[in-house]
Chain A
Amino acid sequence: MNGRSYLFIPGNSAGMMVSSFVLDADVLIYDLEDAVSLDQKDSARHLVNEAVRFLPKRSQCWVRVNPLDSPYFMKDVDALIDSPIDAFLLPKCDDVRFKDMYAYIEAAAKRKNVHIKPCVALIESATGVFTLPKLIKLNVSGLFLGAEDLSADMHMTRTKGSDEIMLARQQVVLHARVKGIVCIDTPFVDVEDMDGLQYDAIKAKQFGFDGKACIHPKQVSQINQLFGYSDEQLQWAQGVLDMAKKHADVAVFNYQGSMVDRPILLRAQHMVDLARKWGLIHE
């Protein structure tokens, strides 16, 4: 499920949906929740459902459904459970809400005799952060930090430096690593401030996030670049793997003056695998 950029597409915008599949986002998230007004929920659900079955697939495709306590959650799941989407993004998660949403999705999949889709939890409340230890014991496939709702819930003031969400960022990454699942950072909401985006994305990467949400197509390439690998990094990783083939009979060897053991070999393999997936390496 690894990606660098996760671009939200409003679920009722036919135009944005048509152009979305030519963008370079690794994951497209069709949004049925915040980006859709209450009187257009039915329309957006139909549009997303038809789009994911019709449009050519270049990226992974997720759908953010409406919250469990809304009148739309079940309809969203019922409509999309047998569609070719790659995952559900579940809003306003804590351990109890996730468990209930997952149970409904699992039952819907059974009813239609299809495999259950991976479910990614959107962590955007104090309870969501606080119950992460319980949440990762459930069938969660990824953690996605939503800092705007979290800030409102925590009575925090959002700043460009994002110091106020440091604890939440650390908790999300920590629990994703314990579980061995993907973690995605909150979007940077000032779409005109590209320097701010750069700073925020670098910080998120330093914290250990795998990728970052985008709310505008112009944020995608910068995030892909920051969360991807440079040519030098990929040359190093490929060099390590080539050398490993020559030293298949030893556990540790030297590459460019540094020791390479199993964890470093695994990291190099992981980098090359992802780079291949993102089209940075062509066979």
Chain B
Amino acid sequence: MIVSKPAVAGTLESNDCYVTVLPNHSSGIQLVIRSIVMQKYGHLIEKTIREVLEEYQIEHVSLTLEDKGALDFTIKARVKTALERSV
């Protein structure tokens, strides 16, 4: 799957996250994660995002995730929605 246009998903409400994806045709996967629990859970958030990118066979994307305490299922859902909106 190729990310061909900017797209967003999610909210900045508590327990949610806001995901932005931008096309990036040759620079691989660029992730920016902002979270108040970055130190403790940042690696898990990144792992979840990368799993979804792998599922969608994304090789190039710029993805920013603004975390407001989202659980794993919410992160997955919001990333999937943003990716599907970007094609």
Question: Hey, which bits of chain A sit against chain B, CB under 8 A?
Answer: 13-15, 17-18, 42-43, 46-47, 49-51, 53-55
Contacts and interface: CB of A to CB of B under 8 A. Distances in A.
Interface stretch (B13-21, B24-32, B56-64): B13-21
Interface in B1-39: 9-11, 13-17
A55 B76 CA distance: 13
Contacts of B81: 42-43, 46-47
A55 B71 CA distance: 10
A76 B42 CA distance: 32
Interface string B50-72: 00000000000000000000111
Contacts of B14: 15
B73 A50 contact: yes
Contacts of B73: 47, 50-51, 53-55
Contacts of A54: 71-73
B52 to A, nearest CB: 10
A43 B72 CA distance: 15
B71 A18 contact: yes
Given A14-B13, A54-B72, A42 B77 contact: no
Nearest to A19: B15
Interface of B: 9-11, 13-17, 70-74, 76-78, 80-81, 84-85
Classify the interface of chain A: helix, strand, loop or mixed: helix
A43 B15 contact: no
Contacts of A55: 73
A51 B77 CA distance: 9
B16 A14 contact: yes
B13 A46 contact: no
A50 B85 contact: no
Nearest to B74: A14
B13 A15 contact: yes
A42 B71 contact: no
Most chain B CB within a 10 A radius of its CB, from A14, A53, A55 = A14
Contacts of A50: 73-74, 76-77, 80
Contacts of A13: 13
A15 B9 contact: no
B74 A43 contact: no
Contacts of A14: 10-11, 13, 15-17, 70-71, 74, 77
A42 B70 contact: no
